[in-house]
Amino acid sequence: MRRIDEVHLRCPFYGSRKLCETLRAEGLQVNRKHMQRLMRVMGLESVAPKPNTSEPHPEHPIYPYLLRTLLICRPNQVWATDITYVPMARGFAYLVAIIDWYSRRVLAWRLSNTLDSRFCVEALEEALERFPKPDIFNTDQGAQFTATAFTQVLLSAGVRISMDGRGRWVDNVFVERLWRSVKYEEIFLHAYEDLDEARAGIGRYFDFYNLERLHQALGYQTPDLFYRGQLNHAA
């Protein structure tokens, strides 16, 4: 599963067939049915167009996508979130992060060994407590984000909800770039023994990412410095 994750980050357009062929060329024994099962467990999808894309929870409402023609030009205009797979020495976990779209700052995150909405809600509540609320919150149509427990927190705070189409990773591109950074610069370098080790390592990385890691797109500022500087400028 870790190797599948690495290949998917490098080639997100690979489906189960090409992932199978890639792993077979490396000497790993895997068939397509097994690959599809592991991809479902990990929450991975090829970004290429395909039939029979998995549907969101049938009982959860879906909100329209609001970012198509929107110029994002200030902090707290749009926040975004996503979930990714985290390999450990024994088993795996799921990581959710909430970022400010404009500054790329990680506002809150949580790690869980179950893929339910509770850890996503906890991250959202922390972000709303610590930072000024956004105008719009963008997610995909995953069941964790369409669940009432999650959407009600946003609606109660007066935040507009935006949802992109399933598999439309480009609509959440800044979160996808964050996943690539945290995995290649932290997660893949360590074999976390358990959730405690993973939380400690990922927590240290996000502190580094926010406070020390320079971003060319931000004029070689850190996300935290850019976020706060732009807030002061707007004030």
pLDDT tens digits, one per residue of 62-106: 899 999 889 999 999 999 999 998 998 888 899 999 999 999 999
- Residue (of 147, 93, 160, 91) closest to 121 by Cα position: 147
Alpha-carbon distance 31 to 113, whole Å? Answer: 26
Whole-prediction pTM: 0.81
Count CA atoms within 13 Å of residue 119 on its CB side: 16
What is the sign, positive or negative, of the torsion defined by CA atoms of 12, 121, 205, 191?
negative
The single-letter code of the amino acid at 212 is E
pLDDT in tens, the chain (235 residues): 889 988 988 888 788 899 999 999 999 989 999 999 988 888 777 654 333 323 455 567 889 999 988 999 999 999 999 999 899 888 889 999 999 999 999 999 999 998 889 999 999 999 999 999 999 999 988 889 999 999 999 999 999 999 986 545 556 788 888 999 999 999 999 989 999 999 999 999 999 999 999 999 999 999 999 999 988 776 5
Number of residues that this document lists for the chain = 235
